[in-house]
Amino acid sequence: MTASTSGVITLHVNGEPHTLTVDHRTTLLDALRERLGLTGTKKGCDQGQCGACTVLLDGRRAVACLQLAVAAEDRAITTIEGVADGGRLHPVQQAFIELDGYQCGYCTPGQICSALGVLDEHAAGWPSAVTADVRPEAGPPALTDDEIRERMSGNLCRCGAYTAIVRAVAQAAKVVSA
């Protein structure tokens, strides 16, 4: 690693700035896990094919494994460690516990961060691949179970907790919009 292949950057994670020197090759995922001690974000495939490393970048869900840390400077990063409000769990987290929306728990941080993104995207009126009519005049689609399934499909769960995850996201959506 030479000066030209590394750099000093500041990452804004969960509202806190962190200044560190990174090898340009370092992904945001590895920077979070290996440099900042934020191991809640999981590495499932390291190639954008499982969703376990989902975080929020400027409020939108993204996979941290394909995001270079050096290119994440000046962006607001929210990880699973920053989802709860102090000691108070977010309704999505609460619903995952109550409805058993997990088993081994390894995909869970990604599922939860993804669900936060889904709720925001749906609230913004974004259609999905199962939205019957994407034209604006059709209005925003209702957040049915099928809509949740499609929108959450970027988060694989090998234990097969899908049924409970969908229930948890649906319950949290009601709480959040109430």
Partner 1 sequence: MTTATTGGPATRAVGTPHVRLEGRDKVTGAARYAADHPADGLAHGWIVPSTVARGRVRSLDDASALKMPGVLAVLHHGNASRLTEDFVGTFGPDATTQVFQHDRVPYLGWPVACVVAETPEQAREAAETLAVTYATEPHDVDFRPGHPGAYTPEEMAVGPACTEKGDVEAELAASDVVVDAHYSTAEEHHSPMEPHAAMARWDDGRLEVVDSTQGAYATARDLALLFGLDPASVHLRSEHVGGGFGCKAQVRPHLILAVMATTLLGRPVRVVLTRAQMFTLIGHRSPTAQRVRLGAGADGRLRALEHTALSATSTVREFIEPSAQYGRSMYDADGHRTVHSVVRLDVPTPTYMRAPGEAPGSFALECALDELAERCGLDPIALRARNEPAVGPVSGLPFAGRRLLDCFAEGARRFGWDGRDPRPGVRRDGRWLVGTGTAAATFFTGARPSTAAVTAHADGTFTARIAAADIGTGARTALTQLAADALEVTPGRVRVLIADSDFGDAWLAGGSMGTRSWGWAITLAARELRERLALGEDIPPDGLTVRSDTEQAVNSLAAYERHAYGAQFAEVAVDPGSGEIRVRRMLGVFAAGRIVNPLTARSQLTGGMIWGLSMALHEEAVRDTATGGLVNTDLAGYHIAAHADVPAVEADWIDDPDPDDPVGIKGIGEIGGVGSAAAIVNAVWHATGVRHRDLPIRPDRVVLMPRP
Partner 2 sequence: MREFRYRRAADVADALALLEAEPEARPLGGGTNLVDLMKTGIERPALLVDLRDLPLDRITPTADGGLRVGATVTNSDLAAHPQVRLHFPALAQAVLAGASGQLRNMATVGGNLLQRTRCGYFTGAAAPCNKRLPGSGCAALTGEHHNHAVLGASPHCVAVHPSDMAVALAAFDAVVTYETPGGPGELPLAEFYLPVGSTPQLETALPPGALITGVVLPPAPVAAVSRYRKVRERASYAFAIGSLAAALDVRDGIVREVRLAFGAVASRPWRARQAERALTGQHADAVAFAAAADAELAAARPLPHNGYKLPLLRDLVVGVLTELAEEAAR
Spatial neighbors of 170 by CB under 8 A, at least 6 apart, are 143, 145, 148
Q: Which of 8, 97, 104, 134 binds partner 2 (CB under 8 A)?
A: 134
Segment near partner 2 (CB under 8 A); pick from 31-39, 85-93, 153-161, 167-175: 153-161
6-13 and 76-78 as β-strands: parallel, antiparallel, unpaired?
Answer: parallel
Interaction mask 77-116, partner 2, x per CB under 8 A: -------------------------------------x--
33 binds partner 2 (CB under 8 A): no
123 binds partner 2 (CB under 8 A): no
Q: Which helix (H) or strand (E) holds 96?
A: helix 91-98
For the beta carbon of residue 133, count every other beta carbon within 10 angstroms: 10
Nearest CA-CA partner of 159 in 117, 90, 87, 100: 100
Please report, for the chain, how many H helices and E strands are present, in that order.
5, 5
Q: Which is nearer to partner 1, 53 or 137 (CB)?
A: 53
109 binds partner 1 (CB under 8 A): yes
Interaction mask 146-175, partner 1, x per CB under 8 A: x-xxx-xx-xxxxxxxxxxxx---------
